[in-house]
Structure 1
Amino acid sequence: MNYKLIFFSLLLAFFHSTLSAQQGSVFIGKVVDKGSGEPVAYATVMAADSETQQGITGTTTLEDGTFLLETTANGFYLEVSFIGYQKKIIRPDNNSSGRTELGVIEIQEDAQQLEEVVVEGEVSQTVFKLDKRVFNVGKDLSSTGASALEVLNNVPSVNVNIEGQISLRGSQGVQVLINGKPSIITSDESNALGTLTADMIDRVEVITNPSAKYDAEGTSGIINIVIKKEERRGMNGSVSVNTGAPNNHSVGVSLNRRTEKFNLFTQLGAGYREGPNEVETRNTDLVNNTTILSFGDQFRNETFYNFVLGTDYYINPSSIITLSGNFSMEIEDQPSTTNFTSLEGTNTITSEWERTEITEATNPKFRYEFQYKKEFEENEDHNLLFSALGNFFGKDQSSEFFDNTLSGANNDDSQLTRTDFKEALFTFKLDYSRPFTEEFSMETGAQYVINDVSNDFEVQNFENGGFVTDPGLTNNFEFDQKVLGIYGTGAYEGKTWGVKAGLRLERTNLATLLTNTNESNNQDYSNLFPSVHTSYKFSEKVSLQAGYSKRIYRPRLWDLNPFFNIRNNFNIRQGNPDLMPQFTDSYEMTSIFLIGKTSLNLGVYHRFTTDIIERVSTFENNVTTTRPENIGTNKTTGIEFNTKYRPANWLTLNADFNYFRFNREGSFEETVFDFNADRWTAKLMTKVKLPADFDMEFTGNYRSKYRTFQGENNSIAFLDMGLRKKIMKGKAILNLSIRDVFASRIWENQIAQQDFEVYSQRLRGRFVAFGFSYGFGKGEAMQYGGGRRR
């Protein structure tokens, strides 16, 4: 008797019966919109226990609305749901097993439910991930009509000063990305972040300690601004109109058309804004006992136009090609009037004169992108992404300056300046991600960035009845930088513990040239940038994150460019072509607690920076010249605290506190500048739900006084507020916002040295904005359709 044959026959029978029992039920169907008959992609299909109503298993519909759900459970029902639709309950025959065709399942829109879901979504603004925090935008009432810079100022850990400089945890050197990639509009020289409005932004990702996957650029971290793009089927969109004082008017239209293979999207916008500034300076020569006072009003007025057109082409369910282009134009007008007074001693006026400026500029910008994404069938996290991004920014600017003597010594004068600026930025990026198991994964890729700039600058002085070029202030500055980066990371993520480690190699080639004088600065260097991140989950309510990374801050164009604006020729800022990069080792640890209705996030961090770049002021003939220099080292140790508390359904509180102490060591021109100092910032946001679909929000900000390399900056406290009213069942929204309610956001800086003192003050004042937004199709007001790009 063949016992082996009998044994294997019994074994096969056992496995067959076991597999048959495990197969259970398979449900197949298609979910469509009841009104239009269009498939509903990404709808949730869930099998839930009939007694406890808890979910057992689930899936989501594909692009064509189809789904397949498997379960081995008994005593369950099926629930089909999607944001903005009524839930659909299906009760199949639980006694049957095998394949069940459910056919076409129609779900119906529910405007009331949509409104409730959106309101609930307002409560959660910040999401914590392994190496970053995600701040959801579009929920801040005080951001109505605001620019991206003003939105960033509401993000935890981020501050934007009155001149638009961005800092993270009190440090500048932040790399700002758009949709994960460098962009002209985030560069210092373009000054174009203001052309992005709050209703164009989906979310802001704050990465205080980036992994090796990201650029090593940015000593204090990375801020990634993700722009909205709707992807619902059919024609969807929204219209927004904003007005404000000082004059700030804009209109925008967002349209999206989605078919089976294509997603066509476009945005059109136009507007006009005024940016007034009240400026006051005082330069005192302590040796000769003379002073130059200046005060006046400066404006940066812009008429702007923006046009975006792009499409996603779905080659198949796992492969997508994206082509997009953006053209925008700014027409600038910068009138200013500054009054000067020359003093001997404290009260003796020797001369008074008025300096007026007439500046006009046109700034065309182009942006185009090609992107290919391939998701492999066995796992959507196994993907390949290639992108090629091109940006161009130009500035054709001319200025006229006239000095008119009012009393005393003659200071009549006239000057002309001309700027022809061109920048091209190209970024090529390849990223590959692959999970090997549910716990182990890896990422690798490369990036090549080319930045090519030409700045032709000329100054003419009025002499002997005509304008003559000043050769000492006229030159053509060429800037050419190429950075090649290659990285690899590996990650383990278990149920309670995870770790991610990586290494990035970057090679930098920089060349600057002043063509008229043949002054050049060439730098060629390679660096390794390691990173390690880990997290441990003690329970569902307590977790701990820690990380280390090495960062670099490469001097930007305007750090290197020696030219300056002569709007105030007694207070000059210029670049330093000989600057070297600064490097930072960054360590941090963050704990996250969920206690009832409260989330607490407490973190400590330490940064050590070498060859730190400081802006150093020198003084001669009552003229202050400020330029960046590499001076010594800086050690910063800080603590950060964030919390969100919802004591009642109608009240939500968000608080952000950051304190750090730093140690500076360095010297300049035989003078030692070693000192210890500290500073702190605080932010409190209060959101109140009122009857009749009114919402109100208050955001208070405070920044302490702190010591600088040569002096100190004053403390600042200011309040923003907003009011929102939903109408037309949430399809339309009215917004009112007031930024800097008490006009208290005054920036002050004092430099106190042995032989001179400099005081400067700048005030922008109160801004009031009123906006109306309406969403059509499946779009929602204020969200350009409300969908996210996948």
Structure 2
Amino acid sequence: MKLIQHLLSVLALLVSIATFSQNNPERKKIKITGAITEKISKQALEYATITFVNTKNPKVIFGGITNAKGEFDVEVNPGIYTIKAEFISFKPTEIKEKKLFETTNLGIILLDEDATQLNQVEVRAEKSTVEIKLDKKVYNVGKDMIVKGGTASDVLDNVPSVTVDGDGNVSLRGNENVKILIDGRPSNAINIADALRTISADALDKVEVITNPSSRYDAEGGAGIINIVLKKGKNQGVNGTIIATLGDPKNYGLVSSINYKTENFNLFGSLGYNDSKAPGKTLTDSDYLNPDGSIQKTINERSTRERGRKGYNYNFGMDWFLDKTLTWTNALSYRKNDGSNPDNVLLYNYEPNNIFVRNRFNNQYTNTNDAEYTTNFTKKFKKDGHKLTVDASFSRNIDNDSSIITDFVIGQENNATKESSKNFQTQSRNLIQTDYVLPIGKNGQFEAGYKGNFNELLTDYNVGNLDPMGNYTPNLNYTNVFDYKEKINAFYTQFGSKINSFSYLLGMRYENSNIDINLLTTNNFTNKKYDSFFPSAFLTYQINEESSLSINYSRRISRPRNRFINPFSNYSSNVNIFQGNPDINPSFTDAIDFGYMTKWKKVTLSSSAYFNQTKDVFQFIRRPNGEIITSIVNGETIETPVMLSTPINLSNENRFGFEFNVNYSPYKWWRLNGNFNFFQSSITGNYSYTLAKTNEIVNENFDNKALGWFSKVSSKVTLPLKIDWQTNATYNAPQNNAQGKSLGVFSANLAFSKDVLKDKATVALNVNDVFNSRKRINQTNLPTLNSYSEMQQRQRQINLSFTYRFNKLKTEKDKTQKRDTENGGDEF
């Protein structure tokens, strides 16, 4: 009831203000400013109401609502007023008989929390799972029961506009050229898809999706940026959480975090442990074709695997408030994971005169260690918003994989072969950046900064044969040492302001790239240098308080990384090989976005039409490499062509799409989020390659037009007994490509949660992939091959989790300023 009373009061206030202002246009008004904050933490209160009631004529009412900084700016007629400041779950504050006859700053008005009112509020004062903003979408992980006990990869798969395929590859609006940041910095992981599966979902605070970033951000990522923000202690005193998870298939997890904050410093830390098994399977049916199109042979592949991970991670750090304007933050994190991935493959071979089953068993073990140290200085000047930040991070990652591969024909004696593959990788990444923000006038803001990103990756890849005595003979076709060095120096500047209902933000970013690609074993050394400018422009028109229009432009770059470049990177199959392309070049994208956002009483709608034009776009293709695997089965010589998957540069890609995001709360106990994305891509380009052994040159045309769409719906309902029920559903529609198509896939997740122990703890049960249908399904049609494949990275997962909070209520409002998403400036 208290909540309804507040809402009705605000509505009556707005109606009265509008009515009075219409009936009294002739009187000259004065401006009254100030701010409303919490009394204890001094935290600004956004959306607090300020009311001015004329003591001589109570019908004369003025008022307003505070902004994100807790500030208000209200025009009133000269007179004597009773001033009232209010916010939900806080005790109102009144200032009586205040004489206001000239422009006045009331200073800071303090509000106390009302414990009684807090207990009466039925709907918790919490952010929605998905917050729609004009320039980005913010997904609040802590509000999503679906991902409890899951991984960061599960979190991203629930984020609007984002999809994660069976291999863990992340796409934004159907485009894989997306840059993933963690706490505003590039991940120090060598393989980001694998790294996302090792980060607990419970360690994430929120995910920010920026489809068209400004010049402040890295130009990397043709589709945009996804920033994963990890949890950090926020509240005064000692507080923390402990989350325990039990799942089937095996998923044991324990994550704890603790925070101690005083006026002079803030200590924070967390520790996580996980032991899990993720069964998966693959089905591939392939018809090898003769030149006339008839079937030469058929191989049906059935693969089962069980990816196991056991490891822990921890981080600790301290914010030191040197004075009221200077903060120094230091943090250290470490992650260690040991894993296994036994992959058992049965190859059903149907030759014209011979039928047999080949068993290929890949027993793979992984070991990952990475450590990172970060430091930050933030200096705030006297003027609000005027600040200087300096950041640095230094990380090292070691990722070692080793496999023993056994291959034999079932039912045939003395035909087994053994191979060994090792992939030892070491990466060092150092980052230094500084950002300066200067407010100019009432609405203007100038920004400038520098960022240096220095990355070195050394990969030692070995493949060889093992004889019955265990002696090793290297296979030189798949053995090499790959040394990748990347130095990127960037400078940017931008200026934004607001003129009446128009806002603009204009910027320019310059990046100097110096990249060494060295194949040490073959003595093949390549250096690539290029200088690039990346302009950006953002224009917004505020139609009214509820609606706005925007048009944005930015230029982006997608640099090929380790997996795309390294020609020796995967040998799990000797007939279907993945290989990088050291000759691949970066692609450049011009991105335009038209946006419209509006808010009604219970609905927030954000829609956009976007157009991306990319030059030198890279795309994965599948082709024969000219090699033949020969074996003798039942006295007959069997030849199997080797198929190669590799990335190439094509000419151009034009991508056009529409996107709609809706937040709708039809009742106080029901909240809905919906996301729909439709896009069309048109790719042009030819590619020539030379077959091994025969040196035959093959020319292929990859012109292709494709339509695609996907939709996500999330529903959260509060059932009787205060049980929360959440359902997420996703559908990825079929999509054509130059060599076939991907088929449509529907999947759904389900979760229930209940607060216990006087709201200090929460029990949650979730089912990930209820129908066991989340797969990647592809059809490939080549002149020499037709194939159909289904790949399921992880089968249905059921998790039960228990969360306990000490000295930290679930209904607590965040008592911290919003951390910048990357470079230190506030979003304009």
TM-score normalised to the size of structure 1?
0.88
Pair 1:333 & 2:352 matched: no
1:145 aligns with: 149
**What do you get for the CA RMSD once the two structures are aligned?**
3.3
Structure 2 matches for 1:682-693, cutoff 5 A?
682-693=711-722
Inter-partner Cα distance in structure 2 for 1:128 and 1:531: 19
Pair 1:244 & 2:247 matched: yes
> 2:62·2:75 contact (CA, 8 Å) conserved in 1?
no
Inter-partner Cα distance in structure 2 for 1:26 and 1:762: 59
Could you give the per-residue CA deviations for residues 42-68 of structure 1, whole angstroms, max 9, x where no partner exists? 578976435689756879999xxxxxx
> 1:202·1:788 contact (CA, 8 Å) conserved in 2?
no
Structure 2 matches for 1:56-455, cutoff 5 A?
74-77=80-83, 79=85, 86-87=90-91, 89=93, 94=98, 107=112, 110=115, 113=118, 116=121, 119-123=124-128, 125-129=130-134, 131-185=135-189, 188=191, 191-287=194-290, 289-345=296-352, 349-379=354-384, 381-407=385-411, 411-455=415-459
Unaligned residue ranges in structure 2 (runs of 5+): 1-28, 627-639, 689-698, 820-828
2:513 aligns with: 508
1:594 CA drift (Å): 2.2
1:770 aligns with: 800
1:209 CA drift (Å): 1.0
CA distance 1:464–1:335, shift in 2 (3 Å): closer
2:23 aligns with: none
Could you give the per-residue CA deviations for residues 212-255 of structure 1, whole angstroms, max 9, x where no partner exists? 11111000000111222122211111111111111111111110
> 1:505·1:527 contact (CA, 8 Å) conserved in 2?
yes
Unaligned residue ranges in structure 1 (runs of 5+): 1-20, 33-38, 63-68
1:590 aligns with: 595
CA distance 1:766–1:206, shift in 2 (3 Å): same
> 1:27·1:70 contact (CA, 8 Å) conserved in 2?
no
Which residue, 730, 733, 742 being the options, matches 1:704? 733
> 1:417·1:460 contact (CA, 8 Å) conserved in 2?
yes
What amino acid is aligned across from residue 210 of structure 1 in structure 2?
P
> 1:237·1:253 contact (CA, 8 Å) conserved in 2?
yes
Inter-partner Cα distance in structure 2 for 1:112 and 1:146: 35
CA distance 1:593–1:101, shift in 2 (3 Å): closer
What amino acid is aligned across from residue 662 of structure 1 in structure 2?
S
1:105 CA drift (Å): 8.6
What amino acid is aligned across from residue 630 of structure 1 in structure 2?
N
Pair 1:629 & 2:648 matched: yes
CA distance 1:789–1:292, shift in 2 (3 Å): same
Structure 2 matches for 1:580-659, cutoff 5 A?
580-619=585-624, 620=626, 621-659=640-678
> 1:389·1:427 contact (CA, 8 Å) conserved in 2?
yes
2:8 aligns with: none
TM-score normalised to the size of structure 2?
0.84
CA distance 1:158–1:468, shift in 2 (3 Å): same
1:371 CA drift (Å): 0.4
> 1:431·1:443 contact (CA, 8 Å) conserved in 2?
yes
> 1:587·1:606 contact (CA, 8 Å) conserved in 2?
yes
Inter-partner Cα distance in structure 2 for 1:447 and 1:399: 39
Inter-partner Cα distance in structure 2 for 1:637 and 1:477: 37
1:7 aligns with: none
1:106 CA drift (Å): 9.6
1:134 CA drift (Å): 2.4
Which residue, 479, 483, 491 being the options, matches 1:486? 491
> 2:129·2:139 contact (CA, 8 Å) conserved in 1?
no
2:787 aligns with: 758
2:532 aligns with: 527
1:382 CA drift (Å): 1.2
Inter-partner Cα distance in structure 2 for 1:251 and 1:352: 43
> 2:457·2:483 contact (CA, 8 Å) conserved in 1?
yes
1:736 CA drift (Å): 1.1
> 1:532·1:548 contact (CA, 8 Å) conserved in 2?
yes
Structure 2 matches for 1:722-761, cutoff 5 A?
722-761=751-790
1:458 aligns with: 462
Inter-partner Cα distance in structure 2 for 1:538 and 1:199: 39
What amino acid is aligned across from residue 608 of structure 1 in structure 2?
Q
Question: Secondary structure, in 3 states, of the residue corresponding to 1:289?
Answer: strand
Could you give the per-residue CA deviations for residues 650-682 of structure 1, whole angstroms, max 9, x where no partner exists? 222222111111211111222222222211111
CA distance 1:527–1:46, shift in 2 (3 Å): same
1:547 CA drift (Å): 0.6
What amino acid is aligned across from residue 461 of structure 2 in structure 1?
F
1:317 CA drift (Å): 1.1
1:500 CA drift (Å): 0.9
> 2:425·2:458 contact (CA, 8 Å) conserved in 1?
yes
> 2:593·2:609 contact (CA, 8 Å) conserved in 1?
yes
Inter-partner Cα distance in structure 1 for 2:166 and 2:393: 31
Inter-partner Cα distance in structure 1 for 2:495 and 2:98: 44
> 2:32·2:105 contact (CA, 8 Å) conserved in 1?
no
> 1:737·1:769 contact (CA, 8 Å) conserved in 2?
yes
